[in-house]
């Protein structure tokens, strides 16, 4: 099997995890970062230990995906770590892949080991412009985003002569209807119209009315507010708001056309383009039901990955997918390595089957015990108790801190 293209076994309703990992594995800085094998050590709280479990298991999967030795991977350790990300991720139940992606990125940001990677790769900035209807005072606020939510446009609102469209965009839109009018898939659509990603971007940026305090009027007034992308990230994870907030979380099945490329000017990168490199499709009618599959672009070729089943596909297959989450890459950025500053908290160990077990090696010349993870551990840390690290040759417990434990590099 080709490097970077591997199936992930479904361990009962884990397709929401598999599909996100497939897209994440195609992010070049993520691949380069996790393939580095630098000796590290860890020191921190038990909560930080669980973050480390996520990072370590994700690293193992990324490395396996980019090996040339298997058709599919059994992601047991990663799945178990992901179930601990949030109380809502009940094991072996169907979940929302967008929620999983958002929480995963948030947790990786909290980990000092890879926080810089997430910040420099996925962080973008939104700008909100407020205009007071009474005094016309204009104010601005900024907010970072790591995933970009997009409203589904009710109808096509983009015209070929829109000023932000490139020449290639215009020609694509002008010929889109003609090119697809005989497409058998489109004939099956419930609606007789084509909604594009450009429509959703523009619809999301529509002006809304809110009430807020005006600094000039000195009281609450009506404000016109518009939110736009101020600076796009190097890699943009975007998703369509397909699910209504109702008892059944019913799905909006409108088909959205995703262009292969987006003009970077719209995202604060004038003269550049974004390239589509991944899509997650949701099939089904409700949020907590159905199935997730991934489409990835690897070395110029598209692949359709349905858990552990991987097949080559073409652009028309991607076009016909009912996109839920999609990933755009700033072109030529994949060939640029992100220089990350050194991080003081570094760590290395291999997880045994029970990740709470550690073996302690006392060091008489050091104030701190030397610890390594072992496949044959003598002691156990419970996730419901303060860690108690015990010398394998002595019943006396070593010094410890409340709600914390320490793992150091083993002495040579």
Q: What does the pLDDT look like over 294-333, one tens digit per residue?
A: 999 999 999 999 999 999 999 999 999 999 999 999 987 6
pLDDT at 176 over 70: no
Query: Does residue 230 lie within any of the structural domains?
Result: no
Q: Which pLDDT does position 245 carry in this prediction?
A: 62
Query: Does residue 333 lie within any of the structural domains?
Result: no
**Higher per-residue confidence, 227 vs 112:** 227
What are phi and psi for residue 77, nearest 5 degrees? -65, -40
Mean pLDDT score, 288-294: 86
Q: Average pLDDT of the chain?
A: 76
Structure token digits, residue 388: 């108690």
Q: Domain boundary at 225, 256, 282, which?
A: 225
pLDDT at 174 over 80: no
Most confident of 100-104, 246-250, 388-392: 100-104
Query: Does residue 8 lie within any of the structural domains?
Result: no
Q: Which pLDDT does position 37 carry in this prediction?
A: 59
Q: Report residue 368's pLDDT band, with 50, 70 and 90 as the boundaries.
A: very low
- Mind listing the pLDDT tens digit for each residue in 31-89? 999 988 554 556 667 777 788 889 989 999 999 999 877 789 999 999 999 988 888 88
What is the share, in percent, of the chain residues with pLDDT greater than 90?
48
Number of domains within the chain? 2
pLDDT at 234 over 50: yes
Query: Does residue 360 lie within any of the structural domains?
Result: yes
Q: Which pLDDT does position 371 carry in this prediction?
A: 35
Q: Which pLDDT does position 69 carry in this prediction?
A: 78
Query: Does residue 340 lie within any of the structural domains?
Result: no
pLDDT at 394 over 70: no
Give the span between the Cα atoms of 100 and 88, in whole angstroms. 10
Please tell me the least confidently modeled range out of 209-223, 282-296, 320-334: 282-296
What is the share, in percent, of the chain residues with pLDDT greater than 70?
66
pLDDT at 189 over 60: no
pLDDT at 236 over 60: yes
Query: Does residue 219 lie within any of the structural domains?
Result: yes
Give the span between the Cα atoms of 147 and 252, in whole angstroms. 20
Query: Does residue 166 lie within any of the structural domains?
Result: yes
Full domain range(s) for residue 368: 349-412
Q: Which pLDDT does position 287 carry in this prediction?
A: 61
Query: Does residue 275 lie within any of the structural domains?
Result: no
Q: Domain boundary at 169, 200, 225, which?
A: 225
Q: Which pLDDT does position 246 carry in this prediction?
A: 53
Q: Which pLDDT does position 380 carry in this prediction?
A: 33
Q: Domain boundary at 225, 258, 283, which?
A: 225
User: Global pTM?
Assistant: 0.73
């Amino acid at each position: 099997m080709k490097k970077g293209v591997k199936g992930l076994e479904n361990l009962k309703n884990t397709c929401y995890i598999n599909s996100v990992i497939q897209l994440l594995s195609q992010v070049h800085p993520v691949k380069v970062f996790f393939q580095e094998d630098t000796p590290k050590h860890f020191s921190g709280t038990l909560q930080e230990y669980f973050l480390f479990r996520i990072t370590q298991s994700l690293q193992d999967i990324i490395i396996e995906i980019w090996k040339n030795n298997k058709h599919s991977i059994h992601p047991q350790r990663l799945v178990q770590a992901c179930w601990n990300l949030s109380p809502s991720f009940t094991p072996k139940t169907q979940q929302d892949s967008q929620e999983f992606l958002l929480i995963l990125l948030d947790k990786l940001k909290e980990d000092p080991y890879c926080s810089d990677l997430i910040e420099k790769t996925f962080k973008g900035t939104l700008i909100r412009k407020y205009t007071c209807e009474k005094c016309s005072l204009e104010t601005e606020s900024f907010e970072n985003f790591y995933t970009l939510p997009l409203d589904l446009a009710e109808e096509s609102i983009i015209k070929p002569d829109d000023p932000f469209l490139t020449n290639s965009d215009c020609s694509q839109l002008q010929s889109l209807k003609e090119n697809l009018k005989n497409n058998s898939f489109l004939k099956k659509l419930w609606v007789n119209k084509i909604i594009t990603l450009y429509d959703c971007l523009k619809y999301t940026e529509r002006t809304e009315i809110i009430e807020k305090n005006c600094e000039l009027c000195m009281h609450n007034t009506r404000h016109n507010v518009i939110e736009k992308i101020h600076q796009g990230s190097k890699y943009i994870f975007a998703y369509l708001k397909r699910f209504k907030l109702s008892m059944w979380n019913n799905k909006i099945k409108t088909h959205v056309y995703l262009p292969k490329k987006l003009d970077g000017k719209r995202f604060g990168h004038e003269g550049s383009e974004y390239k589509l490199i991944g899509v997650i499709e949701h099939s089904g009618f409700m949020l907590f039901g159905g199935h997730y599959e991934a489409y990835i672009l690897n070395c110029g070729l598209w692949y359709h990955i349905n858990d552990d089943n991987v097949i080559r596909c073409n652009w028309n297959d991607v076009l016909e997918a009912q996109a839920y989450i999609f990933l755009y890459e700033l072109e030529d950025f994949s060939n640029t390595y992100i220089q990350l500053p050194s991080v003081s908290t570094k760590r290395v160990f291999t997880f045994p089957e029970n990740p709470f077990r550690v073996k302690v090696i006392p060091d008489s010349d050091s104030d701190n015990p030397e610890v390594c993870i072992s496949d044959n551990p003598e002691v156990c840390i419970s996730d419901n108790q303060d860690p108690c690290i015990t010398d394998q040759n002595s019943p006396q417990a070593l010094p410890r801190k409340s709600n914390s434990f320490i793992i150091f590099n083993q002495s040579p």
